[in-house]
Structure 1
């Protein structure tokens, strides 16, 4: 029993160890799959929950363990990108437009802060998108740099120009995580030819300077050569003269010695002595004469050599003066051509500035006129729209008024029709009562219309011309004979008879409105109707 329990315990221990080993191996394999290494030509960007206020963690080289669910990773490529910038019509400091085609080599920086900028702004973009953003930034900064420099500074001091371009472009590219690796300015040209004029002027100045230096060297060589020839000739003349003088001195010494020996041989003879003395005197005289002749010959030869030297010097000076005059003429011609080129360049610059100013003025004037024209059009359209809306409002108001009147009239007519229907229903079999009631309803209006005929008559101002005879009614009744009463009676007879209208309608009016009686006209012999009021008294 104990052995069985021991064996069971050992099996349980082995099972636990096996499970622990399996779990450890699984965790190790999973961690190995989640551990990401960064190649040397890329930047590993770990994003998600990276701790602190950072949005991403960037690594160049090494590796990082990517935590599941809360972190993920991506790579940024560090390979350089070459961007061709064809910058044209960039405005320089002196308002001269230049073309500066260049090639920029850029890449993502490996500095910590700049890598974070690249992770925030370039992660997930293609190389074409990154190159497009960089091209826009480079173009803007190059135009800004060119606007602060003159053509001479751009063309002559390329190092300064490249330094400014590198500084400005690099500072802006770093904001998106990029840096400039290399800048190559291929050429600098302008449409006005100002740079070519500067080059031609510099070449002309260099050529003129070289010509002046060559002339100076030629002049020094000619002068040195003439001086050397003169010194050579003088030294040669001196050596020849000294040689002649030594030869004559030797001959004289020889003759003196010979004469002395002859004088010693003639010891006893006076003639010999005298001859000796004469010979000595002659020899002395000849020696002096020979000496004077040698000196004269020497002076003649020296003078001849000096004259030849002076002639050579004069000839050399004349040639030098002629060369100087030619050199001055060439310098003046070169200076004139340089000034003409400068004037032409300045003329082209002024012409370009003139065209630019005309274009600017035309742009401003045309733009102002177009703005004024657009304002007038907008005001006219607004006024027309206002008028249309007013007219539409008035038309809508009139239409609403007529619709309201029509609806009101329709309501009145419908109410009247309803009233007429009810009136006919009330009358029942007495259909003749309905017209009587309607005429009675309208009697006040009819009476009002009859009253209007005499309401403005001033009775006290009426003058009646009458024969004074009274009249009768024809039935034996006496009528008033007053002129005013007769006039009013005749006037009432001329109005539309109310009783006749009622009789035509088949209605009997109340007695308070008078009666309808048959009368015979004595003069015409026909039947007429007369409205006789109940109380016919003269007022």
Structure 2
């Protein structure tokens, strides 16, 4: 090769290289530098339908030049800022939506790679990004038009999935795969979203106030319930103590009755047996009444519990809870007064029955004594009556003299030769005593001044 040809070849190669760089083609000078070749894993090359073994030949005079033309297409991941301004939603509200999408040409799928080569070979990354961006933006607008503002704002994941699904099915026909899509921002110029936020804030504040009021109401209800349980437990304890006292009194009364019965069986077997039977009947009645009263108390407690639950289910406001608490306290006080009154009445009745029984036994004993005395009086007749009267004479004298002994000052006036002083007083008493036989004779028909006296020694 001559020097002129060599120079011409160098100049021609230089201009061809500049043309290749300006048009993003790979130009190789096969005949001059056949070993020049480099491969980038992120770049796919195509030879515009030409084979490496069939290069283009350029004949200049006696020089043959072999040229091979390569086209490059990027396999890098492209980040797209998909922005849709003032798009009307399903309800006619204009909003602006911004999404971030990651797309790339699928180099591992030969069919998609061939499709991408047909669509984008010879285009720069900027041009490919713009085509993918416009496609994504169109799908994003279409999906916005089919949804409401609330659906887009509240369920961003659903919106992103719909855009990803629709855009992927369309871009795959261009050999581009959507790696990811994320909704970045949603806003509007009409303050629609701000109004939604205010409404939600007001709703949350309202729920907070309602929750606070309900908590206070529940606290008052729990306090009243605890107070009711305390009062109920106190009443139950008092009832148990009253029951124990009642059982003790009943057993003691039964033992006393048994002892008294054993002591008096020799004298009043029949009467005491009748009294014992009556007493047992009364005890049984009393036991039945106690059981009935216990059942009534249990029913009252159950009714109170039922009313408490019913009222608790219906209480909705703190004022109603306060009213409920006051009513239950009043009910508890009323029940306490009723139970105390009933217990006092029961105690009085039992004491009255015991006293009546004691008086009845005492009366029967006195009647028995009087009967024996009457029998003795029948035997002794007038002598017995005289003996009894003589026993009472000192008492009569005492009763006659009692008014005089109570006098602080006595003034006596003599009417002549009559006695004065102590003799006068004694004479007055003796004069009254001497009039007694006539009075007794009028009452009993017995003249004690003419009847022989019998001395009855006990």
Report which structure shows greater RCO (CA 8 Å, sep ≥6): 2
TM value normalised by structure 2: 0.45
TM value normalised by structure 1: 0.39
Larger Rg computed on CA atoms: 1
